[in-house]
Chains A and B, each alone.
Chain A
Amino acid sequence: MRADLSRKREGWSVARRRRDWTPDLLTAPALVVMALVMGFPLLYLGYMSLHRWSLIGFAPPAFIGVGNFVALTGDERFTDSVIRTLYFTGLGLASNLPMGLGIALLLDQRFPTRNLLRALLILPMVATPAAMGLVWVVMLDPSLGIVRYLFKLVGVMAPPLWLSSPAWVVPTLVGVDAWMWTPMVALICMAGLAALPGEPFEAARVDGANAWQRFRFITFPLLAPTLLVAAMLRVMDLLKVIDIVYVMTGGGPGHASETINLYNYLVALSYDRIGYGSAVALVLFALVLVCTLALIRLRRAAT
């Protein structure tokens, strides 16, 4: 009888645990909001991308299946913009991460002006990108700007034409982007450095490891997950870059600095080809998603 009872109680409690919807119910509102805010626009974007669609247009939207995506494969301006965006992202990462880490390591040392430097570091980040873009346009101007003057001071009489040179325009824009966003990478790395345990370093010192060895075998591996977070944030921004490009070059000279996002904007809102623009937006979304997931996976492997 007693055993029966206890079995009954056990069974009852198992069933009750199964029926415990509290956590799900608590998260449900957030999930519903997420689904509405994120899911609906995405679904609608997908719906638009299957149509020939124009805002000003004289004909109602017409379903054309995957026609827009097929057209994308033959659109040289689009494929060029994809390659260019990947180039932009690659250059951006290659400059942001080492510089950000370097700055963080430097500011991790104790020296008198450290706090002042840390405060100054965030200035480029808090300024409006559009305004800073315009300032850089003036500074880079070969006749009016200060940049060429500074190059002359150090003996470079004919520096590149920066924004006017099809070969230099992307690296120049990456430079401006790096000026703006490397500090963010540095801040993330500084937070990572502050959270590192002290013991491994003490042990290494006792064992006679020099500074490079301590960095190579302790700091870097321990900081890798943090760096990957920084990389992930930067990749998302770099792939979607539009603000400084729009302000500084408008995608020019020619289309030499046209990124996917800028092309997307022009096609959808300037050329009034909403359906085609939606297809471009979906491709960009997929690209950002794939890169981000790859980095998340890398980070899991690193931790």
Chain B
Amino acid sequence: MLIGRRTALGMIAAGTLAPAARAAAFDWKRHSGTQLRFMVSIHPWTQWAQGQLAALERDTGIKIGWEILYEDQLRQKLPLTLRADPGAVDGFFTLPSWDAAAFSRAGWYAPLDKFIHSDATAPDWGFADFFPNILKIHQYNGVQIGIPITIELQGLFVNKAMLAAKQQGVPTTLDALMSTAKALNDPGKDVAGIVTRGDGVQAVYTFAPFLFAFGGRWLDEKGRPELASPAAVNALKYYGELLRTAGPPNILGMQWKTTYPLFQQAHAAMFIDATNFIAYFKDPSQSRVVDQVGVATLPAGPAGEHSTVISWGPSIAASSKHQEATWLAIQWLTSKAAMISSTQTTHLPPSRQSIYNSDVYTKSVPPDMIAATKQEIPNAVPNGANPLVIPVPEVRAAIGEAITAVLQGGDASAAANKMQKEVVSILNG
């Protein structure tokens, strides 16, 4: 993604002038001289943030060591550091769908509520500006554990030219999705009606909205798996049939890195995955569908339409000796001015309503995507991408086996029962 001159100017303005103007009302320098250490993963936002640290230091006097790691490395190094060396890390980057259960149980998150609703927060920081349903991503047992920075929803991408050629409208229900996908499937021309993830483990993510559309859920209120429900069986059956009858011949084992190129190269008429994939489809240097791509909400099932929604965001380590200073830094990085700047750099959907609805974001993505995601946000399931449990990878593998089974034509009910039994056994240790 290119950063234009105007964007760069906007960044400078956003990053420096606005907090300075606010400083009159709120003492941003109250923790001047504090040295903090953040451990974060590689992400467009953390890379943007790294470039803001000098401005942050000028405004607050807080110096931050910003340690960027690969996501896998962060997942190993961060827990080790938090456990073995309390106080070594003040702030960290967290993905609650993956971390929340384990980190909360370990007591690694400092609850943010006491800071948000106190004079430690600038009056104009605007907590109420965040989408309420997006804030829920960073809540666990009613406690605010982090601040969401972006919105990662799923959407239905369609090739408008292919739909028009077969006189098909954009499907809005699961029934319509099935019939449209079958109508557009043309193996003779190497065109799949629809493509989405077929690798069991990865497909847990794309399968989730189908589970919710049929009225299912991963866990019940007490956190016990609910994977053999009629809704889960129906969703498995549907996912299997959709992709076996209208997916590409090699759907089994397909990871996202092999699914999106099919849509991008006009070898699939529809595609379901994270809305962020729009960047790949709108890039003329690699896409053949720049002018044909349309984005719509996921089709609704008997229980309506429910995308998953996840979000990375900064948290405070409970063991930090500088929690208030860390909060000040996080506040600075997630303020309105900062989010304007980060949105202009990353083009990712911002978690603040005021910025989501402003030119800053809407200019960078197609109008149909704005319309679709706006409709999805209130109904999306926070952290629905996988069950919110401690051993996420192992549970994902067990669910993945059921998805693999139905993609091979196996019985959905048997697969669901086996998955339920395995997940129960994993959770019981």
Interface positions of A (Cβ within 8 A of B): 55-56, 58, 134, 137-138, 141-144, 161-166, 169, 249-250, 252-256, 266, 269-272
Contact = CB atoms under 8 A, between A and B. Distances in A.
A253 B80 CA distance: 32
A269 B76 CA distance: 8
Contacts of B413: none
B404 A254 contact: yes
B70 to A, nearest CB: 13
B249 A161 contact: yes
B258 interface: yes
Contact of A253 (B79, B252, B258, B265): B252
A162 B253 CA distance: 11
A143 B264 CA distance: 12
A141 B254 CA distance: 10
A272 B106 CA distance: 15
B249 A271 contact: no
Contacts of B253: 163-164, 169, 249-250, 252-254, 256
A163 B250 contact: yes
B76 A143 contact: no
A137 B401 CA distance: 22
Given A253-B199, A253-B404, A271-B394, A164 B252 contact: yes
Given A143-B265, A144-B261, 12 more contacts: A55-B80, A137-B257, A142-B190, A143-B190, A143-B192, A161-B249, A161-B252, A163-B253, A253-B198, A255-B401, A266-B397, A271-B397
B76 A252 contact: no
Nearest to A267: B394
Given A144-B262, A254-B401, A271 B251 contact: no
Contacts of B382: none
A127 B192 CA distance: 33
B401 A164 contact: no
B265 A144 contact: yes
A269 B77 CA distance: 11
A164 B255 contact: no
23 contacts: A55-B80, A56-B106, A58-B105, A137-B258, A141-B261, A143-B190, A143-B248, A144-B261, A161-B249, A161-B252, A162-B250, A163-B253, A164-B198, A164-B251, A165-B252, A169-B253, A250-B199, A252-B199, A253-B198, A253-B200, A253-B253, A270-B394, A271-B394
B250 A271 contact: no
A164 B265 contact: no
B61 interface: no
Contacts of A266: 393, 397
A250 B105 CA distance: 30
Interface string B195-234: 0001111100000000000000000000000000000000
B408 to A, nearest CB: 8
Interface string B391-428: 10110010001001101100000000000000000000
Contacts of A55: 76, 79-80
B69 interface: no
Given A58-B106, A142-B250, A250 B393 contact: no
B267 A143 contact: yes
A143 B390 CA distance: 39
Nearest to B264: A144
B330 interface: no
Contacts of B183: none
A269 B71 CA distance: 13
Interface in B349-400: 390-391, 393-394, 397
A70 B397 CA distance: 22
Nearest to A271: B394
Contacts of A270: 393-394
Contacts of A137: 257-258
Contacts of A58: 105-106
Given A55-B76, A143-B190, A143-B267, A164 B393 contact: no
Contact of B249 (A142, A144, A249): A142
B250 A141 contact: yes
B102 interface: yes
Nearest to A162: B250
Given A58-B105, A142-B250, A250 B201 contact: yes
Contacts of B407: 253
B397 A144 contact: no
A249 B400 CA distance: 14
Contacts of B250: 141-143, 161-164
Interface centre among B83, B252, B391, B408, by most chain A C-beta atoms within 10 angstroms, is: B252
Contacts of B200: 252-254
In the A-B complex, the 8 residue pairs with the closest CB atoms: A253-B253, A164-B250, A252-B253, A253-B252, A254-B404, A271-B394, A270-B393, A143-B267
Contacts of B102: 56
Contacts of B79: 55-56
Given A143-B190, A161-B250, A250 B391 contact: no
A154 B250 CA distance: 22
Contacts of B261: 138, 141, 144
Contacts of A165: 252
A86 B330 CA distance: 52
Contacts of B76: 55, 269
A255 to B, nearest CB: 8
Contacts of B192: 143
Contacts of A169: 253
A59 to B, nearest CB: 10
Nearest to B103: A56
Contacts of A141: 250, 258, 261
